[in-house]
Amino acid sequence: MHADPEQFIEEIGKTFPDQKEGVRNFLYTCKKIKEDAEKLGISGNPTIIQKLKVMVKYPTIMKFARKKYSQMLDYFISHEEVKRMFYLYCSWFGQAPYELSAAAGAVLTAIGQFDGIYYPKGGTMQFSKKLSKYYEMCGGKLRLNSTVRKINVENRTAIGIELDDGSSINGTFIISNADLKRTMLDYVGAAHLNESSINYIKNLKQSPSGISLFLGVNKDLSQYPAHMTTGRKADDIPKVRDQNIFELDTIVLRILTRIDPTINPPNLNSIVIYYMAPYNSNNKWKTGPNEERTEEYVKLKEKICEDIISMAERLIPNLRKDIKIKELATPITYSKYSFSTEGAWHGPSMINKKLPHFKTPIKNLLLAGGNMVGGGVPRVMQSGFKTADYILNNI
């Protein structure tokens, strides 16, 4: 799938000649919807006037306004294998094609196929480090390896935080980047919340989690594309998210060497292999109380590693013999290190009728991150701007 739409359309035509024009019409319709949405400037719930404006001035948006992404694909494309290529964009929201709105899917498709998808040079960690450095330049202080025990609340107002070492830090505003459930139920506590808030928080569905296998290999990978996938279940997100079914029949393989050679381990090439997986599979991955790592957990991880590598060898033959570094992250890993309930990759699922607001029921306690707008660096950055703007306007 190329960011040059005509190149992609030509490649489709080689294998699926009867789908070529349908794919072209689909892509350029997605582009039109994205352009119109940007002109319209709608975010959140549109007003009646904005809705009327859509009906009169933006017929392309109106045509698919009440459709799902799968219905939009059906309108233009008849071959199931070609439709499946575009299911990639659904996974970015943790939704199935029949759950994702046509408008959201169209905008994502247009970004991917016309604008291109980019990585920060040096890897995503470098992006975080640059932000941290700038924060410190502006006078901010970082307290690394300092775990928060609780958020201190008086009269339903957040006044500070207490760390694991017993020390406290007070502030006018407290911003939590942990997810809503952990922030409110673990760090604030139900005693400070009313019943409706507790019910809303507990009933929020989480987006899927997943597994990621990180490899360092002593193998020339220059003849392979940066991204590959093998398997057929890209539309099975609800199975993972809602039914806790884990079937390792699909993997996505990313060769970081082909994107940015500077992030490789010394004298090795980097590969990341991943796919969605449920937090509650195998009795929470055979961990003990409080996600305690057990011998059974370690054995399960090793088996999954071998299964993933076997699937990866469909794409890169004889990969196993060249692996020098191997590290597997599970939903338990993401739960521990990202402070995300059930290790959810995108925070609360986008299928929730109402995503959390950046303002919480506790005065001066605010949220930032994937809680409000879904996962992904651009959307998380947008949430940070929104929270920051609120604070700047209130101090």
- Quote the tokens at residue 122: 């040096």
DSSP state of 182: I
pLDDT tens, position by position, 236-269: 777 777 778 888 888 999 998 888 888 888 889 9
How far apart (Å, rounded) are the C-alpha atoms in residues 141 and 158? 20
Output b/e per residue, 130-142; b: 16+ Cβ within 10 A.
eeeeeeeeeeeee
pLDDT for position 371: 74
Cβ-contact 148, 187 below 8 angstroms: yes
pLDDT at 299: 95
Residue 312 reports pLDDT greater than 60? yes
How far is 75 from 9, CA to CA, in rounded Å? Answer: 17
What average pLDDT does the segment 57-62 reach? Answer: 82
Q: Which whole number is the average pLDDT over 329-343?
A: 91
What does the pLDDT look like over 268-308, one tens digit per residue? Answer: 999 999 988 999 988 899 999 989 999 999 999 999 999 99
> What ranges do the domains of the chain cover?
5-115, 124-204+347-392, 209-343
Task: Identify the helix (H) or strand (E) that includes residue 53.
Answer: helix 48-57
N residues, the chain: 395
Cα gap 210→155, rounded to integer Å:
39
Please tell me the pTM assigned to this model. 0.85
Tens of pLDDT, residue by residue over 346-389, are: 888 877 777 788 999 999 999 998 877 777 788 888 889 999 99
The CATH superfamily holding the domain 124-204+347-392 is FAD/NAD(P)-binding domain (3.50.50.60)
- Closest by CA to 76, choosing from 15, 3, 12, 1, is 12
Please report where in the chains the tokens 């796919």 appear, as a residue. Answer: 275
Give, in words, the CATH class of 5-115.
mainly alpha
pLDDT at 44 over 50: no
Residue 110 has pLDDT above 60, yes or no: yes
- As a whole number of angstroms, the distance between CA 150 and CA 141 comes to 19
For residues 291 and 336, the answer to whether their CB atoms sit within 8 Å is yes
Predicted local confidence at residue 170, as pLDDT: 96
Same CATH fold, 124-204+347-392 and 5-115? Answer: no
